[in-house]
A and B are shown apart, each in its own frame.
Chain A
Amino acid sequence: MTRLAVFGATSAIAGAVARLYAAEGASLFLVARNAARLEALAADLRARGAAAVTTAVADLNDLDRHPELVERARAALDGLDAVLIAHGTLSDQAACEADAGLARAELTTNFLGPVSLLTALAPVMERQNRGSIAVIGSVAGDRGRGSNYVYGSAKGGLGVFVQGLRHRLGRSNVAVTLVKPGFVDTPMTAALPKGGPLWAKPERVAADIRRALDRGPAVLYTPWFWRWILLIIRLLPDAVFRRTRL
C-alpha cells in the first residue's frame, strides 16, 4: 500500500493527484490552510477508496512549523513512499513591481516555503533510503519574462534547489522531480483568458505527476509539449526575445 503526503492539498492539481492515489487504496496525509476544505477533501478521498486519510491544518508560510509537519506525516503514515509539494500562489506581477514587500512575500510562498519544507524532509527520506518527491515548479522558471518574472524567479530558484537536492538524495535512492506545468485550468489561473490547445485540465497534469512519482525523472514538463515550447523560448537570442511580449 502506497503512502503519500501532500503539502498544499486543496490546490486543484494536488487534489487530482490525491484522487489517483485514493483510487489505488493508498494512505494519505494532507496539509492545507483551510480546515473545512481540508475535511471535505479528506471525506472525498476516503469514499473514493483511500485506506486512511490524516489531515493537518497549517499555513505553510509559517516556515517554523515545517519540521513538525514533516514528522507528523512520517509518523501518521509510518514512512513516506511519495511526497507532493504543491502549495504556491500565482503572483500579480504588476503589484509586485510596485511593492517590494509583496515581491518578498511571493518569494517566501513560492521559494523559501518549499526550500524550508524540503530541507526538513530530506533527512527523513535519507534515513528511509527510498521514496520519491515531486515539487511543483513552473515553466515560468525557465526564462525570466517581463510578464511574470517575480513568480518566475521563485520557481526558477526552486528549480536549482530541487536539482541540487536530487543530486544529493540520489545517493540515498530517493528521486526528486521538478514538475513544470504549463497553463492549467485551475482557480490559480482564473484571472487569465482561457481556452485553446495550450490549456490542460488538472486531471491530465495529475496523471503525469502520478507516473513521475513512480519513475522519478529529473524534470517533468506537463503536458509534454511544453518541453519543446520552453526549449525554443530559452534558445531565443536576447535581441529577438526583447522584442516579444511574452
Chain B
Amino acid sequence: MTGFQDSRTYRAWGRAHRFAHAVARPRFADEAASLLAAPDGPTSVLPYGMGRSYGDSCLNRDGGLLDARGLDRFVAFDRETGLLEVEGGVTLADILRVLDHAPPSERRWFLPVTPGTKFVTVGGAIANDVHGKNHHEAGTFGRHVAGLRLLRSDGRVLDCSMADNPELFAATIGGLGLTGLILRAAIRLKPVPGPWMESEDIRYETLEDFFALSEESLAGWEYSVAWIDCLAKGRALGRGIFTRSRHTGEAPAGAKPRTAYEPRLSVPLDFPGFALNKASITAFNALYRRRIPAGGTRGTVHYDPVFYPLDAIGLWNRMYGARGFYQYQCAVPTAGAPETVRALLETIAAAGQGSFLAVLKTLGDVPSPGLLSFPMPGATLALDFPNTGAATHALLDRLDAIVAEAGGRLYPAKDGRMPAGLFQSGYPRWREFAAHIDPRFSSSFWRRVSVPVDQPSLGPSPGPSDSPPSHSPSPSPRP
C-alpha cells in the first residue's frame, strides 16, 4: 500500500493554474478504499484522470488528488450486445484499441458519444458528462451509462443506475468527481459498419448559413460541427467550415485504418508568449479557411482524424506558452441562439483576442440523466484565449454578461474563472446536486463557484483563495 505524496506537477490542460497537491495513485479498488480510510490522508480529495479538463475543475489546491489512471482494467465486454464494463481510469483510447482489434467475423462497436480527444478516462467522461458532434442524435455520454460503481469516503461501495440509487446516479453524471470515486462503469456501445466515415467539409460565408446547414444536416448526418474564423467582422461574421459526417461500411480503396492510440508528435516546450498574436492568428484563420475549396470537399476517411484531429499533436496546449490559456465554452438556448452567438462573436472580434480553435455547433434536445449536465437545446460556442492577464479577463467578463442575459451557461470542464453567480444561475439544480457531494470530496472549482451569492445573477466573484494567479506572474517556478 502506498499513500499520498506531495506533488507540484498535476495540472489542468489550460496550464493557467499551478497548485500543490498530495497525490495517491491506487491501482486496485481495494487500494483506493484503504487510501480513503487512512487516518493521515489529506482532508479533502478529488479524483484525477488524464487532466484534460481545462481549468480548476480537476484540481484541488493544497488538498488530495486520487490519480485514477491506475484503475485501467476492462471488467467485461459482451461482443454480442455491445455492453462494455471498464474501470474508471480506462481511457477512450484504450477502448478504441480493443474495439479496433475485433476479429473480422464479429460485430463492430464504437463509442456512443466521444469528445474531441480520446485521451480522457471513462470516469472523467462521466464526471463531465461530455458530449460530441452527435449531440443532436445521441445526447451526452452519461445517457449511455448503464450503471456505475461509486466508492464513497465512508467506505461504502454503491452501484448506481436509473434503477439503483437513481439520485446519486443523476448527481454523478456530470458531477465533476465530487460524489465519490467512480470505480467502474458499464457503457452501451453503438454498432457501426466499420472504422470509416463519410465526411464533408463545406465553406460557408455567414452565421445564417451555419444555422441553415445545421438544420439541413439533421436528417442523415450523425455528426456535425463548424470551425469558425472568430476574427472575421461585419458581413463575414461567423464564416467558417462546416463539417458533417456519418459512419459508412464502404472502405476507400487501398486505405488502411490507423489510429494513434498514443499522442504521436509532441510540442516539446512552451512556445514564447508572443507566438500567438492577432496577426499570426488572423493569417492562420484566413489560410485555414482557404484549405477548403469554395465547392467543399467530400470523401471517405478513417474515424481518427474526423473525431480527434488534435490528438495527432501531443501537448498542443503548450503552444500557448508558459502562462497557459483559457477556454471559454458556453451553451445558449435555442430561442435567440443566432442573435446570442452573433453578439458573442462581435464582442470577440472587436476585442481582437480570438484564436484558431473556435468551434460552433448546435445542441439537440435529448435529455441527460445528470443534474449538472452542460448541454441544453440550442447552440454551443467554444474558443481558446491565450492568458494575457487582465485584458483576457475583461473580455471573458463581457462574454459572461451576454451568456447570462440569454439564459445560457458555461462548461465547468473548460472553465477556470467563471463567477459563482453565473454558475449558480446556469445550473439551477446545483443545490440539489450539492446534497449528494461526498463530504470528503472537493475541488478548487467547487469551492470557487459554490460560495453564497446574494442574487443568483451575474456579479463579481468574491475572489476566493483558489482563483488562479491571472493578474500577476505565476508564483511557482516554471518547469
Contact = CB atoms under 8 A, between A and B. Distances in A.
Interface of A: 10, 12, 23, 34, 36-37, 40-41, 43-44, 46-49, 187, 190-191, 195
Contact of B77 (A12, A36, A47, A191): A47
Interface of B: 2-3, 5, 9, 25, 27-30, 73-77, 87, 98, 101
Contacts of A46: 74
B27 A12 contact: yes
B74 A44 contact: yes
A190 B30 contact: no
A183 B98 CA distance: 29
Contacts of B27: 12, 187
Given A40-B73, A44-B74, 14 more contacts: A10-B28, A34-B28, A36-B28, A37-B30, A40-B29, A43-B73, A44-B73, A46-B74, A47-B75, A47-B77, A48-B98, A190-B25, A191-B2, A195-B9
Contacts of B98: 47-49
Contacts, number: 42
B30 A43 contact: no
17 contacts: A10-B28, A23-B101, A34-B30, A36-B28, A37-B30, A40-B29, A40-B73, A40-B87, A43-B76, A47-B98, A48-B98, A49-B101, A190-B2, A190-B5, A190-B25, A191-B2, A195-B9
A80 B98 CA distance: 26
Contacts of B3: 190
A47 B76 contact: yes
B25 A43 contact: no
A23 B29 CA distance: 24
A40 B2 contact: no
Contacts of B30: 34, 36-37
B75 A43 contact: yes
10 residue pairs, one from A and one from B, having the closest CB atoms: A47-B74, A190-B2, A44-B73, A47-B77, A44-B74, A37-B28, A187-B2, A40-B73, A43-B75, A48-B98
Contacts of A47: 74-77, 98
A43 B74 contact: yes
Contacts of A190: 2-3, 5, 25
A43 B77 CA distance: 9
A102 B28 CA distance: 27
Nearest to B77: A47
A186 B4 CA distance: 14
A103 to B, nearest CB: 22
A40 B28 contact: yes
Contacts of A34: 28, 30
A16 to B, nearest CB: 10
A187 B31 CA distance: 11
B20 to A, nearest CB: 15
Contact of A41 (B25, B73, B101): B73
A187 B29 contact: no
A43 B30 CA distance: 16
Contacts of B73: 40-41, 43-44
B320 to A, nearest CB: 23
Nearest to B2: A190
Q: Which of A40, A43, A46 has the most CB of B within 10 A?
A: A40
B25 A187 contact: yes
A190 B2 CA distance: 6
Contacts of B77: 47
A40 B90 CA distance: 13
Contacts of A37: 28, 30
A17 to B, nearest CB: 15
Nearest to A37: B28
B370 to A, nearest CB: 27
A47 B74 CA distance: 6
Most buried by B among A10, A12, A48, A191: A48
- B25, B30, B73 pick with most chain A CB within 10 angstroms: B73
A10 B87 CA distance: 16
A121 B351 CA distance: 73
Nearest to B27: A187
Nearest to A192: B5
A190 B67 CA distance: 13
A23 B98 CA distance: 8
Contacts of B74: 43-44, 46-48
A36 B101 CA distance: 27
A23 B28 CA distance: 21
Most central of A41, A46, A47, A191 by chain B CB within 10 Å: A47
Contacts of A48: 74, 98
A47 B77 CA distance: 6
B255 to A, nearest CB: 23
A237 to B, nearest CB: 37
Nearest to A47: B74
